[in-house]
Structure formats: structure tokens, C-alpha cells
Amino acid sequence: MTNKTISAHDPCVNGWSVLALTAPIAMGYIPLGTVFGFLFVQAGAAWWLAILTSVFVFAGASQYMMIPMVAAGLSVGTIALATLIVNLRHVFYGLSLLKKFPQGSLLRWYMVFALTDETYSVLTTIPESTSHKQMALVALLNHMWWVLGTVIGAVIGAQAQLALAGLDFVLAALFAVLTVEQWRTKKTPAPLWVALAAYAVAHLLAAKHALVISIVLSIVAGMLWQPKSVAVGEVHND
């Protein structure tokens, strides 16, 4: 979501500085969690389901994606596939944390579960000397900020009536922000143009299923796609 770099050169990280480390993340997670909770309830789902989602899924972009999909009643399989695609980037996060994480304990698997973009950015920048308990505390605090925001949003959403047309644009605005942040990290805007073309084709074919069709078209394009110069990592396939 937001790109915040956290610098922590203090070799002795105690409980309070862990709290300070997650403060910039709280600034992002609480309002964005609130927006999620609000829109989820406004879409017509029970308030406790919004909280359940933030506790057990804990992945911002896919939770936002889920709202229009659940509202449209898409199948569980389709939503699972879309989640797989949106969260595919998480596959690469663990690689740089393999040795830092505690070995073979419940703590390890909780930290794997809670490895969001933001937690990843903190855990990869804190000093080597940080204890496993403190690392787990970073993950837990971030998880709590996200759930807290969701609770606030769900409570507001359960009471408020949408009186203004177009307030749901907030979701589109969020996707626009995420698109810009993805675009910034890429060497080429090709995936953006491919997606626009795919959606146009899918909308002409079957407007009702445009999203699913265009996702499939984009996966096919992504598999055939050959970056001009070797992209991120050492991919030797030319």
C-alpha cells in the first residue's frame, strides 16, 4: 500500500521502539482498515464478517478486491483464484527472511501468516540483533492496527446511510493508488496496456463476466510476455 521506509539503526530495540517502528504503519493501516470495514458492511455483509476477514486473511489489496466480488456473488473458486493472483508477490517476500525467522515454532508460522507488504518492509530493515519475540511483536502490532481500523469502519458502516451518490468511488481511488505504486516499481508499463486491452475485449465479449475473462487473458499474456531486458532477479530464459 503505502511505501514507507523505516530506518532503525538502534542496536537495542525494546518494546517501546517496536511500537515506534510500527507507528507509520498504523497511520496507513487504521484509515485503510476503516475504509475496508465501512465498504464491506455497506456492500451488504454482516459487520462481524468484516472483522473475521481482517483477522484471518490480513491482505489489504485482496480484501478490497473481495468486496465487489462478494457483492456480485462470484464463486468461492473464482475469488480464491483472484486472491492467488493479487497476492502472488508474497511468494518472494519470505526468501529474504528465511534465516531471520525463528525455527520450527508456532511463532514462525504466525509470522509467515502475518507477512504483509508493510511488515516485510519493517522486518527487512531492522537490525540483525533484534530478537524473535520483538520481530513477532512487530507483526502482531501491525495485525492489530489493521483489525482495529476494520472494527471502526464496520461500526460506522453499520450505522451510516450512503446519502451521496458516488461515495463508493473511494474503492476505485484506492485501486488507482495501488496501480500507481505498482507502476512506479516496474520498468515497463506494458502490463497496464495489456490489462486495458484485455478488459476492452472481455467487455465486448461478455460485459457481465468482463473481470474474470480479462484476468484470464492477462495471465496468458503474462506467461507469453518476454521482457526486453532481463527484469528483476536473475532470470536466464533468453
Partner 1 sequence: MIDSGYVVGVIAAMGLVTFALRAVPFVGAQWLQKHPIVQRLGEFLPLAIMTLLLVHSVTGAALEHPGGPWPELLAVALVVFLQWRSRNALLSIVLGTCVYVLMRNPGLGWLTELF
Q: How far apart are CA 43 and CA 125, in angstroms?
A: 38
Q: Does 221 bind partner 1 (CB under 8 A)?
A: yes
Residue 223 in contact with partner 1, rule: CB under 8 A:
yes
Q: Is 137 in the site for partner 1 (CB under 8 A)?
A: no
Residues 138 and 111: beta-carbon distance below 8 Å:
no
Sole window of 11-19, 50-58, 136-144, 152-160 interacting with partner 1 (rule: CB under 8 A): 50-58
By the rule CB under 8 A, 140 interacts with partner 1: no
Give the CA distances from residue 73 to residues 77, 220, 222, in Å, rounded to whole numbers and listed in that order.
11, 25, 27
Residue 204 within binding range of partner 1, rule CB under 8 A? no
Nearer to partner 1 among residue 12 and residue 223 (C-beta): 223
* Residue 206 in the binding site for partner 1 (CB under 8 A): no
**Options 22, 29, 33, 53; binder of partner 1; rule CB under 8 A:** 53
- The backbone region for 58, taken as left when phi is positive above 0, alpha when psi lies in -120 to 50, beta otherwise, is left
Residue closer to partner 1, measured from CB, 71 or 144: 71
Distances (CA, A) of 8 to 14, 100, 120, 122, 142: 12, 16, 14, 9, 17
Should residue 26 be labelled a site residue for partner 1 when binding is judged by CB under 8 A? no
> What is the residue type of 124?
T
